[in-house]
């Protein structure tokens, strides 16, 4: 006859404690990695939007526009405002603003900002430094970005390119 092994309460407590510690450590590592990715995103956006050696070209309403530094500061503000990971459900992408930033060394950043059916814009940011996809909250964020990159600009007129 075989004896059934009983699992003691102490063993159960130890196993649960180890699992909770592993989950806690995993969460801390995940948080650190995501914080590092977001900081890198902020640095890339800041460099692309503020560096005088970066040329920009924005496609809006069928026109190619070179956005002024003053208007880019507004775009940067909206792109760095309350970014969230792309885990929001029920959001459909709509109109898209495409931006291209060409650095002095030839590196290119491609940015797509999509209007959505909620109070978010969806951002796809591709650069040599990484790729980021975020939802950025704000009631009129898409309209404000579109105004800033339009030929009229938000604070001053932008240059329409003849290409």
Please write the tens of the pLDDT for every residue from 57-105: 888 888 888 999 889 888 888 888 766 666 666 778 889 999 999 887 7
pTM for the model: 0.77
Cβ count within 10 A of residue 40: 14
3-state SS assignment for residue 101: strand
Cα separation, 147 vs 155, whole angstroms:
9
**In this predicted structure, what is the pLDDT of residue 112?**
93
**In this predicted structure, what is the pLDDT of residue 107?**
85
> Pairing state of beta strands 159-160 and 63-66?
antiparallel
**In this predicted structure, what is the pLDDT of residue 50?**
85
> Of 154, 120, 138, 134, which is closest to residue 42 (Cα–Cα)?
134
pLDDT higher for 4 or 9?
A: 9
CA distances from 84 to 26, 79, 80, 140 (A): 20, 11, 10, 16
3-state SS assignment for residue 45: helix
- Give pLDDT tens digits for 16-62: 999 999 999 999 999 899 889 888 988 888 888 888 888 888 888 88
> Of 91, 97, 111, 94, which is closest to residue 147 (Cα–Cα)?
97
pLDDT-derived band of residue 163, with 50, 70 and 90 as boundaries? low
Residue with tokens 């970014």: 83
**In this predicted structure, what is the pLDDT of residue 55?**
87
Domain boundaries, the chain: 10-160
């Amino acid at each position: 006859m075989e004896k059934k092994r009983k699992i003691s309460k102490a063993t159960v407590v130890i196993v649960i404690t180890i699992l909770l510690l592993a989950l806690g450590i995993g969460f801390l590592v995940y948080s650190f990695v995501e914080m590092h990715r977001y900081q890198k995103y902020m640095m890339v956006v800041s460099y692309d939007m503020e560096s005088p050696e970066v040329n920009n070209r924005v496609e809006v309403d069928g026109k190619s526009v070179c956005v002024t530094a003053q208007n880019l500061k507004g775009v940067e503000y909206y792109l760095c405002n309350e970014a969230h990971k792309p885990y929001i459900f029920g959001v459909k992408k709509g109109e898209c603003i495409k931006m291209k930033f060409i650095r002095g060394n030839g590196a290119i950043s491609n940015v797509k900002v999509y209007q959505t059916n909620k109070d978010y814009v969806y951002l796809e940011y591709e650069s040599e430094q990484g790729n980021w996809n975020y939802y950025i909250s704000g009631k009129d964020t898409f309209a404000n970005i579109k105004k800033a990159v339009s030929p009229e600009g938000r604070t001053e007129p932008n240059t329409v390119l003849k290409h």
